Chains A and B, each alone.
Chain A
Amino acid sequence: MPEMSLKDSIMTSMNAQEPWPDNVKLFQPYEVEQILLPDNASCLAVQAFLKMCNLPFEVEMRWNAEFMSPSGRVPFIKCGAFVVSELEPIVQFAANKGVTLCGRLSTEEKAEMRAYMSLITNVLVNAELYISWVDTETFNAVTRVRNASVYPWPLGWLQTRSKRNNVIKRLKALHWYNKTLDQVLADVEQCCNSLSQRLGDRDYFFGTPTELDALVFGHVFTIITTRLPCRKLADIVRRHETLVALAKRIDEQYFKRP
C-alpha cells in the first residue's frame, strides 16, 4: 500500500469541493498484448469501482503506464491536475469529492470490509504474482513474452529480468517465495472459502455494491478468464460458485454494453 504523504492529503482535500470532471482518464497497459494477470486484476477492479460509482472515465492504454504511475503500479487516473494510482487511493480520492459506496455502512462493517480487502491484497495478489513470475511454466510461456512485448530487443529481456527480481524480492520479504505451488493454492483456497462464506447467498458483500465487490470482481474475473498454462488457480476459484456468480453479475451489470 503506498502511503499518502501529508502534502498529497492536503492537496486532495483542497480539491474536494470540485466536482468530478468529465475528462477523467484511466491509464493502463495494453490489454491484448501486454497486461499481466495481477495488473489486469487491479485495473478491472478500479474500472468496476468507478462504474459502480457512476463516475465517467475513459480508458487509455499506454505501453509505459506503469512508469507514468506515481506509485509505479497500474492503473492510475488523471483527474485534472491530479494523478492518483491504485484502488484504495482512488477510493479515497472519490470520497473526497463526495462519492462513496460505503456511506451507509456501520463502522464495524467498514472495518470488516477493509479486512477483506487486505486479505485479497495479501493472498490473491501474491498468488497471482507467484503464478506469473515464479511458476516457471507460466513465466516462460506467458509473462516473459507479454512483459517484453512492448520493448525492442534486448531491452525487453532486461526489463523482464529486473521486474522479476523486484517481484521475487517482494515475495521473499512476505515469505511467499519459498512456498510450493500447492501451498500457494491452499492459501488461495482458504481465502476464497472465507470470501464465499462472508458473501453467503447475498448479491453483494454488504447488500449493495462496495469497493470490496469491485476488488473481488477484478481478481475473480481476471483469474477465471485468463488462459494460463497453470490451470489450477482458475480451477480453485471456479469451484466457489458464489464468487463466480458475483463476478458475472458485476460484469453483466456494469460492463456489458446495452
Chain B
Amino acid sequence: MGTVHAKAQQNEGFGQVGGGLLGLDEPLEFDEEPISKPSIKLNGVRARVDRVHVDGLNRTKDDIIRSAVDDLFHATDFEDVILRAHKVRRALDATGCFRDIGVYIDVSSGPGATPEGLEVTFQVKELSRIVGGINTTVSENEGNLVIGVKMPNVAGRGERLQAEYSVGNRSTSNFSVTAAKPFLRSALTPVLSASVYQQNHEYPWSGYRLLDRGLLLDLAFNTSPATKHNLQWEGLVRETSVLSKNTSFRVRESSGPQMKSVLRHILTIDHRDEPVFPSRGTWLQFSSAVAGLGGGVAHVRTELQAQANATLPQASNVVLQGTCAAGVLHDVFGSELADRFFLGGPASLRGFAQRGVGPRADGLALGGTMYWATGLHVYAPLPFVAGRGGLAELFRSHVFMNAGCLAHPEEGESIVSALSEACVAGGWGWRCGWGAWRASSSTTACRCAPPRGTSLLRACS
C-alpha cells in the first residue's frame, strides 16, 4: 500500500496514525496533547486527499458512506486530514453499522496522484447480521431474564431492528420490538424509531400493578452535540389492577383499563463528562407531555430535572453535586394513580423509603400532582482503597442532604402551603454504578418530615 518512504517518515514523525491514536472515542484535543517531535508542525505540511478507500463494506450502502467521508476531501494540510479523518471515523461509528474501524493514511500513488496527495483507508468490520444476547437484570423489585435479538444495519443504511423479551421472577413478561431508522445524511441527524411493547410493573409501595401495551413513535435529533431532543407520540392501553384483597380502596378505585395518547417533548442538555459519577459539568432534562388526543386520559405534565457537578479545588477526586427537580401535573380528566408523581427512594429523595414522601392511604403511596426536590451530594472515592483502580472504582462514598415535597392540593387548598411541607433527609452511605446502572445503600440517614407525612419522623441507623 503506497510508497514505503513516505509511510515510514510519517510513522516516525507523527506517531501511529491508525486504530491506536484515532481509536479513541473522546474528541481529540490536539492543542493539549503533546505530540511527539514538536519540530514538525502538522499544520505546515500541505496535503490533499486524493482518494478514500473504505475496506470491508458488505451490505452497507455506498451513499451513506460517501456522504460521511466527503468531508475529508476539503482538507488542506496534514493536521486537517487527521482531524477530519477522526471526524469521519466518529460519523461512521455513529451509524451503528460497524464493529471496528481503523484508519490508515498513506501518500497516494498511481495515475492521477498529486504531489501532496494522500490516500485515506478506512478498514471497517461490519456488525454481523444478527446479534443475540441473554442477560439478567435486577430492577427496583424484580429480577428479570432478558432475551434480546438485534439486527443492526438491516437494509444497509443504519436501520436497526431490535426485539427483547424478558421474564421476571414474579411471572411477569415484558417484550418490546423496536425498529429505528437514522437519517444520516440530513442535518441534525434525526433518528426515527417505532416500538411496540408490553410492560408489567408492580408497585408494592402503592399497591397496584400496571400492564402497559402500547406503541411509541420517537423522533430524536441533536441541535448541538450536547443538546438532544426527543419528540414522541405514545399510544397505550394501561391495565391497572390492585395487588391484594386488602389494598386501600383509594387505590382500588383506579383499577381498570384505560387508553392514553400522549405527545411528549424531551429536551436533554448534557455537559457532563460521564453519565455515571460525573466529575464536572451540568445536565438538564425538561420534559413536557400532553395527553388527551384520543383516549380516556387528558392532562398536561411537565417535569424538570437538573444536576450540576464540580470538583473541589482542594481535593481533585471529591465531587460536589447539586440536584434539583420539579414537576407539575394538571389533570383535565381521567388521570389516575399511574400518571401522578411519586417521590422518595434512593433515586429521587435519598434517605426516604421508595415512594415514601407525599399523600398516603392505609400505608400506600397515592402520589401527587406537584413536587419539588433538591439535594446536595458529596462523592468521594472509597477510603483506604482509593487510587488502586479495579472494582473500587465502581464505588463512591456519598454524603447527602436532600429535601423535597410531594403534594396533591385539593381544590381550594393553597398550592404554596401544600408545597411548603418539606421532607428533609441527610446522611451518608455508598453508591455503586457502572454502565447505566446504579445502586445505593445508605448506612445512616436522618429524616424529618412534617406531621402530615406520617411515620417518617424518625432517625434511623
Residues of A within 8 A of B (CB): 8, 11, 62-64, 66-68, 70, 78, 81, 83, 151-155, 158-159
Contact = CB atoms under 8 A, between A and B. Distances in A.
B253 interface: yes
Contact of B237 (A63, A66, A68, A155): A155
A67 B255 CA distance: 6
A51 to B, nearest CB: 24
Contacts of B249: 78, 81, 83
Choose among A63, A70, A78 the residue with the greatest number of B CB atoms under 10 Å from its CB.
Answer: A70
A68 B296 contact: no
A68 B246 contact: no
Nearest to A5: B245
B259 A8 contact: no
Interface residues of B, number: 16
Contact of B259 (A63, A67, A155): A155
A152 B294 contact: yes
B255 A64 contact: yes
A110 to B, nearest CB: 27
21 contacts: A11-B246, A62-B253, A63-B256, A64-B256, A66-B256, A67-B241, A67-B256, A67-B257, A68-B252, A68-B253, A68-B255, A83-B245, A151-B257, A151-B296, A152-B295, A152-B296, A153-B294, A154-B259, A155-B258, A155-B259, A159-B257
A29 B202 CA distance: 27
A83 B294 CA distance: 33
Nearest to A78: B249
Given A70-B245, A158-B237, A159-B257, A83 B252 contact: yes
Nearest to A150: B296
A64 B208 CA distance: 15
Nearest to B241: A67
Contacts of B258: 155
A151 B257 CA distance: 9
B252 A155 contact: no
Interface string B120-148: 00000000000000000000000000000
Nearest to B244: A70
Question: Which 4 residue pairs across A and B have the least CB separation, nearest first?
Answer: A64-B256, A67-B256, A155-B259, A67-B255
Interface in B212-244: 237, 240-241
Contacts of B255: 64, 67-68
Contacts of B245: 8, 70, 83
Interface string B285-303: 0000000001110000000
A81 B256 CA distance: 20
Contact of B246 (A81, A151, A153, A155): A81
Choose among B237, B253, B259, B296 the residue with the greatest number of A CB atoms under 10 Å from its CB.
Answer: B259
A154 B249 CA distance: 28
Nearest to B295: A152
Interface in B279-317: 294-296
Contacts of A151: 257, 259, 296
A11 B259 CA distance: 36
A8 B296 CA distance: 34
A238 B373 CA distance: 67
A155 B296 contact: yes
Contacts of A11: 246
A75 to B, nearest CB: 14
Nearest to A153: B294
B400 to A, nearest CB: 38
